[in-house]
Amino acid sequence: MRNDSGRIYCLNTPKNKVEHDFKLKNMKKKLFIFSVLLWAGGIGLLSAQTQVVNNICYDEEFTESISVVSDIELSTLTILDRLKFKKKRYIKRHHEYLNSSGNGTHDVHFVSHENMFPKWYTHPSTIRSDETGIKSYFATRSKYLPDGWTGSIKSKTEHGQYVKDKRTGEKYLFQAHSKKASEAYSTWNQKIRSEGFLTKYTFSYPTSSELKILQSQGFEVTTSDNIIRVKNTEIIMVWDIVQKIFIRQFIESNSIMKTLKTYYQYVQEFGTDMIHTIVTTTPETFDNGDCFETISYTVYTNYSQGCAHENVAFRSQYSESQYAEISDLEVFPNPASERLNVIIPNPKVVSTLQISNINGEVLIHRKVSNGQTSFDVNLSEFPAGIYIVKCQQGSDNYSTKFVKQ
């Protein structure tokens, strides 16, 4: 919508950016609380009976970009707003398991990232959450800090305490659970110890009795042709039972503040429909009042329960230079047109294979199980150009380049 000066304003966001940011912050808080209630038992959900899984791993690939109207006046944007046009991307490897004490543990390993952090910032290589709190392990050295990490210049911050274990060499930031975080962990831990980790990722929807409870709480409930719709003045939830899609829209002052669409896909290993893609759309405004949408895609792949616990102490003993590529990787044909065959250096070791373009964008990220001697790649959708193949096996990294004709 244009005002008298010709400026373009969003129809569904406040013109006042401070008001909009406040509402977004409030909405995110409600989103978090609702998500906890939804999964932890505030609203029971009906799903296909699933096996109890106490060890699960998967890969998460996140991409975020913005969408703007074609006639936006770019010359009026601030430097910070112009930076929003940079696409953000990361790949993480997740592992959830019961530790030696029988408590739920979640390890998040960073695989790659793009435009997520400032160049001077060294992000943790692994983040571990368990009953004690959160440990952020630093395996990569920073060239901007003495001794390569923040713990060399300060011992603690308001977020936690920097620790260097003299026995193992581990370097990490330790954050003890707050009272609320401890209560949330306890609820989560109790649920996964009895039901396993799988229920959080499987498609589920409210039963008839639960819909009646929602109605008694002031929600408007509509059901028809395998579609369930629940809404009030703050949230709209839609379950498509046939297509396996769950939609949430969060509302403030009759305006949609965020939309999340979760798509599920059948996973053979677990025999059930599990989260595959989450698409999040958030209407926002630049400082000059022009509108845009932030759109993010989070894709979950490589679900498995055959994953081994990684030794974080071992990982943290290696600096960035020690993780440099040690050998060329064998691929053929090169140049290639339709398919590429990658020879796995050591088939007895679990490998991580990654293919990126010359701009550093990761196009393929796959885990290769031990015993597999090669990996076949379909190149039919790759544009012509030069690509980089990397294969990581423990502390050993292999790489090479190939040409797509």
Q: How confident is the model at residue 247 (pLDDT cuts 50, 70, 90)?
A: very high
The burial class, CB within 10 Å (0-12 / 13-18 / 19+), for 111 is middle
Contact by Cβ (8 Å): 294, 281: yes
Instruction: Give the percent of the chain with pLDDT over 70.
Output: 82
* 312 φ/ψ angles, rounded to the nearest 5 degrees: -70, -35
Q: Higher-confidence residue: 268 or 69? A: 268
Q: How confident is the model at residue 1 (pLDDT cuts 50, 70, 90)?
A: very low
At residue 114, the pLDDT reads 86
Domains of the chain, by residue range, sit at 17-68+83-99+196-304, 324-404
Q: How confident is the model at residue 105 (pLDDT cuts 50, 70, 90)?
A: very high
Q: What is the mean pLDDT of residues 248-257?
A: 90
Q: Higher-confidence residue: 395 or 17? A: 395
Task: Give residue for tokens 């009976």.
Answer: 49
Residues with Cβ within 8 Å of 325's Cβ and at least 6 positions away in sequence, in order, are 390, 397, 398, 399
Query: Measured between alpha carbons, how far is 239 from 180 in angstroms, rounded to an integer?
Result: 30
- The least confident of 3-7, 159-163, 336-340 is 3-7
Contact by Cβ (8 Å): 24, 256: no
Query: Does residue 54 have a pLDDT over 50?
Result: yes
Q: pTM for the full model?
A: 0.70
At residue 144, the pLDDT reads 76
Q: What is the mean pLDDT of residues 141-146?
A: 75
pLDDT tens readout for residues 344-382: 887 777 888 888 887 777 888 888 887 788 888 899 888
Average pLDDT taken over every residue of the chain: 81
The rounded Cα 391 to chain-centroid distance in angstroms is 22
Query: Measured between alpha carbons, how far is 188 from 174 in angstroms, rounded to an integer?
Result: 20
Q: Higher-confidence residue: 4 or 332? A: 332
**Residue 209 is inside which H or E element, if any?**
helix 208-216
> For residue 347, is the peptide bond before it cis, meaning its omega torsion is within 30 degrees of 0?
no
Domain range 324-404, CATH class: mainly beta
Q: What is the mean pLDDT of residues 208-224?
A: 92
**Residue 30 is inside which H or E element, if any?**
helix 17-40
Query: Does residue 48 have a pLDDT over 60?
Result: no
- Give Dmax (Cα) for the chain: 69
- The least confident of 3-7, 49-53, 70-74, 250-254 is 3-7
Nearest in space to 91 (alpha carbons), one of 360, 377, 393: 360
Query: Measured between alpha carbons, how far is 379 from 389 in angstroms, rounded to an integer?
Result: 13
At residue 56, the pLDDT reads 94
Query: Measured between alpha carbons, how far is 45 from 75 in angstroms, rounded to an integer?
Result: 50
At residue 33, the pLDDT reads 44
Q: CA separation (Å) from 136 to 54, 96, 182, 290?
A: 23, 16, 18, 38
The burial class, CB within 10 Å (0-12 / 13-18 / 19+), for 119 is exposed
Residues with Cβ within 8 Å of 317's Cβ and at least 6 positions away in sequence, in order, are 139, 169
Q: What is the mean pLDDT of residues 316-326?
A: 39
